[in-house]
Amino acid sequence: MTTVQETRTSRSTSPTGQSGSPARGPWLSRTAFALTLGVLTLVFLGPLAWMFLTSFKTQNGATQLPPTLLPHPATTSGYHPLLNTTSQTPVIHWFLNSLLAGAANAVLVTVTASLAAYAVARMEFPGRRLLWGMVVGTLFIPPFLFLIPNYIIVSKLAWLDSLWAVIVPSAGGAFGVFFLRQFFSSLPHELEEAAMIDGANRWQIFTRVVLPLSRPALSTLLVLQFLTNYNDFLWPIFVLFSPAHLTLPAGLSILQGAFTINYPVIMAGAAIASIPAIVLFVIAQRSLVESVSRSGLKG
Amino acid sequence: MATTLSPRRATRSTPAARRRGGGWVAYLFMLPYLVIFGGFIVLPAVYGIWISLHDYDFALPVKPWVGLQNYQDLFSPGSRVYSEFWESMRATGIFTVLSVPCLVVIPLGLALLLNRKFPGRTFFRAIFFLPYVLGVAVIGLLARYILDPNIGVVNYYLGKVGLSHTIPWTTDLPWVWVTLVGVTVWWTLGFNAVIYLAGLQDIPPELYEAARMDGAGKVQQFRHVTLPGLRPVLVFVVTTTLLASANMFGQSFLITKGAPGNATRTAIAYIADEGLVSFRMGSAAAMSYVLALFLLVVSLVVFRLFREKEAA
C-alpha cells in the first residue's frame, strides 16, 4: 500500500514537471493538453458517431453537401432492407450467424485450451517440452500460410459454405493455450496439493480448484476469442458462399456492392456489426486492455 | 482413472513429485486441443508444401506433380504469374514500409500523453482503443464513405478550410497509400499505445528523479531513461506491427479494391485470388511460402538490429 502511494506521488510530479517550472505557466500547458485530448477524442469517436448518425438519415441526407450532423428527417429506412430475411442481403441472418459462430468458437477454444494448458502447466509427462515447443512455435507461422491447405482440408470435410469452417479450424491456434498456461502457472501449488491429499484426482482438481480460480482469465479469453472470430474477414469471405450462410463481415462486403451508393443502408449494416463489439468492449474494457498490455511486456 | 493413479501417488512422497501427473492422463487432457491443432495447424503447414509441388487445380481431378516449377515461375520474368505476383509483393512492401514507422512512433506519443496523471485517464485510454475492437469490414465501409472523393465529409471540410476538395483518396496514387496507412493507424494505434503505456508505467520513477537531479531536461530524460526502459516493449511492438502490416488484406480489399490498377492489391489478396478464386492452389501455396520466407528474413534482420543496439 505504501509503495503504491509513493509511486503515485512521485510520478504525479516527475514526468510532467509542472510544479517545477512556473515560468512555463501551468495554466497554458494544461489548456494545450486538454485541447490536444479534445481534438484526439473527436478524431477517434467522430467517425463512429458519423456512422451511427448516417444510418438514420435518408439517402439524400447522407450524401448532401454541406453535410448535416443530425439526421433530418430521421428515419429507420436504412435498417429495413437489412431485416428482410428473404432478400439477397439478409443482414439479420448474418448477424445471428456471426454471434453463433463467435460464441461457439470462443467456447470451443476456452474448453480445449484450458484442458491443454492445465496439462502443460501442471503435469510432467514424456514429450512435454517437445510438444510445448511445437505449440509455441506455431505462434510464429504467419496465418496466411494455412489459407490454401485449410481450404482444401475443410472442403474434404464437406464444411465449405457451413459455419463449421468458421468455428473449428481457428480453434487450433496456440494463443488460447499460451494465454491460459501463463495464468495456471501462477496459481499456488499448495491448493492442488491439499486437494490431492484429500484424494481428488486430476479431473476433480481441474474442475473444482483450478477452473473456479481462473474465472477472470477464462472470461477474458472468451471475450478476446469471440471478438477475433466475430471480426474475422479473410477466411469467411472465401469459405462461405450462399447468402443465408454468411457471417456479418463477409456479408458487409456484399452489402457494399448491392447498395453501392445507398449509404444509410451500408452504415446501418456497419452499425449493427459494431454493436456487439462495442458492448463487449464497454463491459470487459479493463481486463481486455490489461491482457493486451501484459502480452507486450511478456514478449 | 482413480485406480491407476492411486498406487503411483503412494510411491511418490515429495510434494514436487506429487505435482507430476501420469503421462497418459496429461495426454487425455490435451487430446481435444491436439486433434484440432494437428488437423488445422500442423497438417496444413506440411500439406501446403506438398500442394505447392503439384499443379494443384482445385477444379480438376488430376493434380500432376511438378516439383519446384511453381516456385521457379515466381522467379522467372515472363511467366504467367511473375509480374502480378511481384506487383502484389511490392504493394505489401510499400504498405509495410509506410505503416510500421507510423504505428511505432505515433502510439508512443499518445502513450506519453496518457502517461501524465489527469482525471479520466482510463476513459481516454478506452476511447483510443475502441476502434481496434471493430472488424476490418466495419472500418472499411466507414472509411469508404467518409473518404468518398465526391460526397465524403473529409474532402468537404478540407475544401472548407481552403485545401483541395477533390483528393482521390480511394482511387489514385499516392493518395490511396495515405488512405490505407492513415485508416490502419487510426484503427490499430490503440493496441500499440496500450502496450507502450504498460511499459512506461514499469519504468521506476526513481530513474526520472535521478536524471533530473543530474540536470537532465525533458528531452534528455526521454532519451536516457524512457527509451532504454522501453527497449523490450519496442522490440515487441516493432515485430508484431511488422507482421500485422505484412498481413494486410481487408483494408485494400474493401477501401481501394486494389486500385489504381492493381497497385494496392497486397500479396495476400493476390494469393487468395490465385488460389481461392482461380483455384490454382499449387501456385498460390508456393507464393505463400515465398512470402513467409520474406517475412522470416525481415523479422530476423529487425531482431538483429535491436540486438546489436543492445550490445553497443
Residues of A within 8 A of B253 (CB-CB) are 253
ipTM score assigned to the predicted complex: 0.89
Q: Write down the pLDDT at residue A25.
A: 59
- Whether residue A142 and residue B291 make contact (CB cut-off 8 A), yes or no, is yes
Q: Is A186 strand, coil or helix?
A: coil
pLDDT per position in chain A (299 positions), as tens?
Answer: 333 333 333 333 444 433 434 445 577 788 888 899 999 999 999 999 999 999 999 888 888 888 888 888 888 888 988 887 777 888 999 999 999 999 999 999 999 999 999 999 999 889 999 999 999 999 889 999 999 999 999 999 999 999 999 999 999 999 999 999 999 999 998 888 888 888 888 999 999 999 999 999 999 999 999 999 999 999 999 999 998 999 999 999 888 877 777 899 999 999 999 999 999 999 998 888 888 888 776 54
Task: Answer whether residue B20 is part of any domain.
Answer: no
Task: Answer whether residue B186 is part of any domain.
Answer: yes
Of the residues B12, B145, B202, B206, the best mutation for testing chain A's interface (the one with the most A CB atoms within 10 Å of its CB) is B145
| Residue in chain B lying closest to A299 (CA) | B236
Task: Answer whether residue B23 is part of any domain.
Answer: no
| Domain coordinates in residue numbering, chain A | 80-296
Go through B270-283 and write b for each residue having 16 or more CB atoms within 10 A of its CB, e for each that does not. bbbbbbbeeebbbb
Total number of domains constituting chain B: 1
Is B124 part of the contact surface with chain A (CB cutoff 8 Å)? yes
B165-213 confidence digits (pLDDT tens): 889 999 999 999 999 999 999 999 999 999 999 999 999 999 999 999 9
Q: Is B65 strand, coil or helix?
A: strand
Which residue is associated with the grid cell 470435410?
A157
Higher pLDDT pick, B218 / A167? A167
CB A124 within 8 A of CB B20: yes
d(Cα B96, Cα A136) in Å, to the nearest integer?
A: 25
| Residue in chain A lying closest to B147 (CA) | A47
B241-274 confidence digits (pLDDT tens): 999 999 999 999 999 999 899 999 999 999 999 9
Measured from the Cβ of residue B229, the count of other Cβ atoms closer than 10 Å reads 17
Tell me the CATH class for A80-296: mainly alpha
B138-159 confidence digits (pLDDT tens): 999 999 999 998 889 999 999 9
Of the residues A18, A64, A144, A206, the best mutation for testing chain B's interface (the one with the most B CB atoms within 10 Å of its CB) is A144
Q: Kindly indicate the confidence band of residue B126, based on its pLDDT and cuts at 50, 70 and 90.
A: very high
Task: Answer whether residue B5 is part of any domain.
Answer: no
Q: Write down the pLDDT at residue B305.
A: 86
What CATH code is carried by the domain that includes residue B294?
A: 1.10.3720.10
Task: Answer whether residue B61 is part of any domain.
Answer: yes
- Whether residue B41 and residue A15 make contact (CB cut-off 8 A), yes or no, is no
Q: Write down the pLDDT at residue B145.
A: 93
Residues of B within 8 A of A238 (CB-CB) are 272, 276
- Whether residue A112 and residue B212 make contact (CB cut-off 8 A), yes or no, is no
Higher pLDDT pick, B58 / A11? B58
d(Cα A81, Cα A95) in Å, to the nearest integer?
A: 14
Residues of B within 8 A of A15 (CB-CB) are 115-116, 208, 221
Of the residues B36, B273, B295, B306, the best mutation for testing chain A's interface (the one with the most A CB atoms within 10 Å of its CB) is B36
Q: Which domain holds residue B244?
A: 30-306
Please report which residue ranges of B161-225 form alpha helices under DSSP H: 175-201, 205-213, 218-221
B298-308 confidence digits (pLDDT tens): 989 988 888 77
Residues of B within 8 A of A253 (CB-CB) are 137, 140, 253-254
CB B146 within 8 A of CB B207: no
Q: Kindly indicate the confidence band of residue B310, based on its pLDDT and cuts at 50, 70 and 90.
A: low
pTM of the entire predicted model? 0.89
Residues of B within 8 A of A113 (CB-CB) are 33
